[in-house]
Chain A
């Protein structure tokens, strides 16, 4: 069974600083990995997805993530945090591309300090 572990339930960064949200996956087969963002009182929105085409994936709002098989990681980064990035971020894994039954991590709440 696949699963993802998000390290750090809360992360705080200063505006303009690097954002790094950690996700490690556990999968017996090559996984498909996703990052979703949830703004307050809203549903989840896809930030980016890894589908084995390229290890460095660029998403919306300046976010990107790098798939590292040797480290079983798929960390999310953004060079410069903006106040509007404050939200909850979820890493997710799927066994098959096209099978959108996703298994989500526990989430990381990102706070931006002015």
Chain B
């Protein structure tokens, strides 16, 4: 158990819909990272938040957005969903300056 909690574990929805994925980092970790894992793209960095502020953006679509709340949990919002958004979405947290990410078990999104 990494200490990072992601909900829901599985989500099935239709094209055009909007979903929210939630992540609770390990206690004390200020950084939250979101990654997308798909068969064709592999593991892609989406976005990084540190103590509520956006620190870095990767290959995140404009239809996707994220935020980190004062209690440090984070949400990834995916809207106008397309078939190609079907993937495993991972959240990871870290203590700064250790080089180590702690990953949750992921949220598997299926868009039909």
> Interface of A with B (CB < 8 Å)?
32, 34, 36, 41-46, 49, 51, 90, 94, 97-98, 100-107
Contact = CB atoms under 8 A, between A and B. Distances in A.
The range of chain B's interface size is 20 to 34
Name, among A49, A51, A102, A103, the residue most crowded by chain B CB atoms within 10 Å (CB to CB). Answer: A102
A49 B99 contact: yes
Interface string B89-112: 010101011111101111000000
A102 B96 contact: no
Closest CB pairs A-B (n = 9) = A43-B103, A98-B97, A104-B43, A44-B103, A100-B94, A106-B42, A46-B100, A43-B105, A49-B99
A43 B43 contact: no
Contacts, number: 58
Nearest to B90: A43
A80 B103 CA distance: 27
A44 B96 CA distance: 18
A42 B96 CA distance: 23
Contacts of A32: 99
Contacts of A44: 90, 92, 101, 103
A102 B105 contact: no
A94 B99 contact: yes
B101 A49 contact: no
Contacts of A51: 99
A8 to B, nearest CB: 14
A31 B76 CA distance: 29
20 contacts: A34-B99, A41-B105, A42-B105, A43-B4, A44-B90, A45-B2, A46-B100, A49-B99, A90-B43, A94-B99, A97-B97, A97-B99, A98-B97, A98-B99, A100-B94, A100-B98, A100-B101, A101-B48, A101-B56, A104-B43
B74 interface: no
A33 to B, nearest CB: 9
B64 interface: no
Contact of A43 (B56, B99, B104): B104
